[in-house]
Each structure stands twice: as structure tokens, then as C-alpha cells.
Homo-oligomer: A and B are copies of this chain.
């Protein structure tokens, strides 16, 4: 019998000063987690029970999808990371140490290198493929700014899986199996989530979805369609351009105008009394080793990832003030596409074509040009989709329009292809005895972050509201006055009876006032509370549903089936 008086649940009355978001506050206030160092937490007994339940659900669904669990080391030799090129590329987020023999190791933030070298050494034939291997493990990433409690940590728990196939169709099967398993997992743990198309990022690969728990504190913007299930990350969401919608206008000749100290879109619209969409912004970007001018309509936002993908580049960033001056002889804010040397490369977002009578920088301090018409007054090398999607834009699926939501990434499914198998030599012999690189996918779930996301989505002003599937216990049994023999005895009998029936019970035997116990119960947030008062003399106890606040008066003799039914419904 788990008696609360003996159990380490150090609840707090005060809201910790450094906690900004609900889940962080509640993890601390409900005694679930304690910080040891920035982004490094101890999981207290209640939280660990929930983590184990999340892990059990993850294992069930991974095994059901045909994946096999193993456990790889945290210490990873630098040599492996040098083979993949990530020893340098990963940067300061990779935690590193030297052992007593001055050999360098990384603390694993992810395990592509290790699993690829393992499978390279152990699997040589197509007969042993496909293979999907996963682990649940503590990971390390030296975040520049750990924050939001368990949302962005330096030490955290992940499930990571890696699939190995002989064909892209095989990868597609494994990928789909993982996508489906993830959907089941996040549904079972009680998250409101969306699978969101995302860019593959630095890990490489060609197809990727993020599973986002929807919450306002999310650091990522999700663009979703008001109809259908389309959703994508802002950086990924495609903007559909269907060609010019207006007839070709007769635009007056281009004209230079004096616009002193007018560098921003806002300053321009004020000074010239025009709308932002009449302006064509000229942004100078460094794309790997060259400088490129990208034109974007004044009311739109540049999407650097789309530019990066257009050029198949490794790095894209805004050019420095100096680089800009060298290129166009004018400072940022006055750059424009007109009259530049032929070797300056200009690309433009599709929607720039809709600006027929535009304003652009004159490549001269304090001057702009107006009545500028694309095609007439300047040429571009290519039009394309280089802007962020906006709320109200048409959905790429053609159904509905785009709305924004914010989310926390709790899962990620990637098609890696042959990036790591080629770098590390993970090949197999095909049916014809030819050596081929394995085709890989990788699939991650942030276990400890999922715990935080569940709390972030399931709480009210009084505390946590646990979904039954991952609640540390199902039922909180509370005698109104533990000093009254009859209430105490009844509480213990009820606890024993429910436990016998497989229901997990926390029994609050503390000699505290009822108000204190109820406050703690709401804060800890178990799905059901059973209050044992003087009415127990008549055989009656009160059940309160944490989420809805509903109460029921139930006879002790009918308690077990009543509770089972309630839990099944929640």
C-alpha cells in the first residue's frame, strides 16, 4: 500500500520564479522533477511512474510494428563521428570528453553512427534485411539555452529507432509503419498532436515528418489546412502560385525618388503612402560561397530553407553589411534589382510577378525607384517558392486555407537514405552478390519531453489533469480526517480492495487538514479522487473526476466496478 506520508512527493505552494510555462511550473509544484543543473533534472518517484508508462506504450507499439529493442552506449568514440563528418559539423551541442588515455568521446545525442557501424559489422546479406532497431535511452545535447523545464533539456530520455532496407520501397514500408506506430503512441498517451511535414535539416535525408504536440508555448509554428489533415512546418509548407491573377497593366516609366533614412518596409509605406505588397524587398543572401539577391514582396517573409533547397546548399545566411556594399555599392535598405551588373544573380519569389507597379531600392543611399515593373525594368534568373506561407493562404492540397498553430516537437520520422551507410560503409550483398549501401530511416520520440507535453496540454489553474493511460496512479484515496478510526480503516480497506482489482492507488494517510490534502490532490492530478468522510458510516464514499469535476456518491460495495467503468470511459 503506497502511503503518501512515506512517499517522496514534495509539493510546493509557491510558483517557482524561474518557471515560465505551465508544465515547468507543475513539474516543480507537484514534486515531479527537480533541477540539478541548467537543463539537467531528477525525475522524482511520481514522474518516473509516468515515464515508465510512456515507455511501456512506446515499447508495445514499436514491437508491434516489428522493431527490435537493443541498448547502445552513451560513450561514442570520436572516430565514428569523424567518419560521418559530424564530429566537426555538430558543433558545441555535442558534449565531448577525453578518457584517461586522452581518447576522445562524444556523449550520444543520437546514434546514427553507432547503429550504422553495428549493422555494418553484423549484417552482410539481403536475407537479414529489413531490420528496425530501437532503444530507449538517456541522451545528451549541450543546448545553448535550456528552457521550459523538460521541454528543452541537456540530458533527456529518447526513444530512437533506425531502419535498414534494401530498397526505397522497403524504407517506405518501415517509414509508414513508424508513422502509424507514432500516431498510435501519441494518441494513447493522451496528446493532442499533428503529424507535420518538415524539412530534413542538418541530419540529411529526403522525407520527414514531425509529430507536434499542439500548445501555445511551442517554439515551432505549424501551418495547417482548415480542411483535411494537411500540416507542415513553417519552413516546409509549400506556397502555391497559380500564375498572375490580374491583367497586365500599363505602368508609367520608372522614376528615382528621394527617400531619406527610409530603410524598412514600414518606413517606406508611411513615407510613400503605399501598401507593403507594392514593395519588392531585395535581400542579399550568402548561399555557401556566393552572394545572391532574393526578391520578396513587401508583405511576405523570406524562407531561407527554401532558398537553401533551391541551391542544394549547405549554409544560407543573410549577407553582412560589408558584403552588401561590395556587391551593390549601397547599404542594406536601399538594395534593388535594377541596373546591376550581369553577374549578380537575382532570384525572386513567385508573388513578385504580381507587383506590376512596384517600389524597389535604387542601390544608392536614401533613394528608391518607383513604377518598377518586373520583366520590363529588371530580369531574374528564376522565380520560385521562397517565402513563408501565411495565414489565409490557400492550402497546398487545394482544400481549405492555411491557419497557424504552435507546437512542441515530440516525435520525428526521417528518411535518411544512404547518407550514413555510405559514410560508414554499411553495405549488403544483394541477390546477385553485388554490394549495395543499405537504405536507412530514423525515428525519434522525446520520452521526457512527451511527459512535459502531456502536462502542458492537461492542466487547469489547480494543477495537473493526468490522462488515465499515463497517470502515476489511477486513484487518490483521501480520508477527510485521518485521525477518525473509521475513516482511516475504510480508506485502507478501499485502497486494498482497489489494488487487488489492479487499480493503482495512492493513499493520503497524512495527518493534514482536508483542505491541504484536496489542494495537493488537485495539484498532483490523479484521474479520480475518492473522499472518505463520515458518510462512510452509511457505506457511502464520494468519487470526484479530476478533469470534469463531476462527483458521484457510491456505495463501498459497488466501488470497484464503478471505478473500473469510470476509468475506462476517461
Contacts and interface: CB of A to CB of B under 8 A. Distances in A.
Interface string A27-57: 0000100101100111111001001000000
A68 B47 CA distance: 12
Interface string A100-117: 100101010000001000
A75 interface: yes
Given A10-B122, A70-B48, A36 B114 contact: yes
A272 to B, nearest CB: 46
Contacts of A43: 70-71
A97 to B, nearest CB: 4
A75 B154 contact: yes
B92 A100 contact: yes
Contacts of A36: 72-73, 75-77, 114, 118
A155 interface: yes
A70 B92 contact: no
A34 B71 CA distance: 11
A121 B42 CA distance: 13
A313 interface: no
Interface stretch (A138-146, A181-189, A396-404, A489-497): A138-146
A96 interface: yes
Nearest to A136: B48
Interface residues of A, number: 53
A140 B108 CA distance: 14
B41 A73 contact: yes
Contacts of A7: 68
A95 B97 CA distance: 8
Nearest to A95: B97
A488 B441 CA distance: 32
B133 A8 contact: yes
A69 interface: yes
A331 B43 CA distance: 59
A131 interface: yes
A558 interface: no
Given A105-B37, A133-B8, A69 B48 contact: yes
B138 A74 contact: yes
Given A42-B70, A75-B40, A8 B131 contact: yes
A431 interface: no
A41 to B, nearest CB: 7
Nearest to A35: B73
A99 interface: yes
A99 B142 contact: yes
6 contacts: A8-B128, A37-B75, A37-B77, A48-B69, A97-B107, A99-B154
Interface of A: 5-8, 10, 31, 34, 36-37, 40-45, 48, 51, 66, 68-77, 92-93, 95-97, 99-100, 103, 105, 107, 114, 118, 121-123, 127-128, 131, 133, 138, 140, 142, 144, 154-155
